[in-house]
Amino acid sequence: MAVTTQPKGSQIAAAPLVLRGVRTQDTPDDRWLSSSTPFSTPDSLLPTQVSMRRLFLLLVAVPVAAQARPVPTVVLDHGAKEHTGDISVLFGLRELRDGRVIVLDVKEKELRVMDFATNASTPISRIGQGPLEYQVPGMLMDGAKDSILYYDMGQRRFLALSPTGKPVGTTPFGSTETTAMFSQMTPASGDALGHVFGQPMGMSMPASEPTSAADMPKFADSVSIVSLDRRTGKTTAIAKIRNVVAASEPKIEMVGSGVRMTMIAPSFRSSDVWAALPNGRVAILRNGEFRVHFFTPGAGETLGPAVAFTPVPVTAVEKKAVVDSVRKAMTAVQDNLKKMTAGAANSPTFDIQILEPKSWPAAKPPYIAMQSSPDGRLWVSPSAPAGTKAARFDVLDGTGALVLHVQLAAGETFAGVGRGTVYTIRTDGDGLQHLRRYVVP
């Protein structure tokens, strides 16, 4: 694992401020003031004048030097501990307090505990509808007092796992009615206090069978991040964010006996991303600004410092890559829908069309996604040029300040974070996935 440093710069692509004779990353001299600099003191100055001048310069120099502290870059290219077990398709990971890891393999439809010390891989419960059973798909998230929650999407309930990874009970969540599921929040993460956070789709369903485009589902421009207290059942709206689904302008219409859906591919316009921290705060990056908005229920909003970044230009290669990737994903969805309805009486046909954006921004937004770690840090995935082989993360502390850059090894994909650990996936020649763990500062 290699570690390098680079200085913090200003907001966008500007050279760091350097004061000659001041101790910064650019001046390795151990002295605060050098007699060969413009700040040197003429012999004609009185001792009192000298002291006052030096005091003034120190008052200016200390904040500047603090701003210019270098940010370490950790490259995860060696030192990994790899579990000998394999995974078919990883779709979620949570680290237990004792260092073992709970993973969700969606292809095998299995939750299991993986132990890096013994290389054991132990299934958790089983697929079913019983009180300690679960269905796939689902989502893993943190729970209260080092517990883990598994949100069972199909059965609309939570399976609680103890700090040792044992299933201890299930609790229902929301309504199982189709129309209600579209308006209720979808759980996405949890904190250490027992709250669950999520957001609704922002989709309104027609009151009756649609007969025209005006009667089809509609998507709100913004949605609320919602907190659920699992002990009391109380929900609290934290903050509003832009609805990424609405930005794609989806249109659903009936064409004969079939369903046609058109949507616009992402154009790299800035979106809002968020993460819930262990202490119950919610962090949001919004409006294309690399500056965290922190929301504490009942205490309002606070702003973190602006984080320096280098804009990534949107080129023809970038445009083609994003449109092609969305079309490929939607083709897979369309094929799955056809398989699910094959052979059914009066089964509809599905046609999904992806349109190119009418305009593109000059540069990508500084961030793509964000998640929190159990130690209270924020891991931000920044934009990168198309074809980048090694993923990179900007790590922010609990105030929103940049404290670390982390770069993965080429060919490895990000799987999750723990307490001072990063998990990645290495895929072998047979397509099987292997979980690796790195230790980070």
Neighbours of 247 (CB within 10 A): 17
pTM (predicted TM-score): 0.81
* Residues of the chain with confidence (pLDDT) below 70: 1-68, 176, 178-181, 205-216, 343-345
Q: Among 363, 354, 369, which Cα is nearest to 249's?
A: 354
149 backbone dihedrals φ, ψ, rounded to 5° = -110, 140
- In sequence order, what DSSP letters do the residues of 71-93 get, joined into one string? EEEEEESS--EE-SS-BSSEEEE
Q: Among 74, 130, 85, 149, which Cα is nearest to 379's?
A: 74
Tell me whether the omega of the peptide bond preceding residue 16 falls within 30 degrees of 0, making it cis: no
Q: SS3 for 348?
A: coil
**Pairwise CA distance, residues 98 & 317, whole Å:** 45
Neighbours of 248 (CB within 10 A): 19
> How much is the pLDDT for 1?
66
CB-count burial class (<10 Å; 0-12, 13-18, 19+) for 78: exposed
**Pairwise CA distance, residues 434 & 427, whole Å:** 6
Domain segments of the chain: what residues?
17-67
CB 114 within 8 A of CB 85: yes
**Residue 141 corresponds to which tokens in the numbers above?**
């998230």
Catalogue the long-range contacts made by 162-167 (C-beta closer than 8 Å, 24 or more residues apart): 163/96, 163/97, 163/98, 164/96, 164/98, 165/96, 165/100, 165/102, 165/113, 165/124, 166/124, 167/124, 167/125, 167/132
Q: Among 210, 183, 196, 190, which Cα is nearest to 142's?
A: 190
> How much is the pLDDT for 298?
80
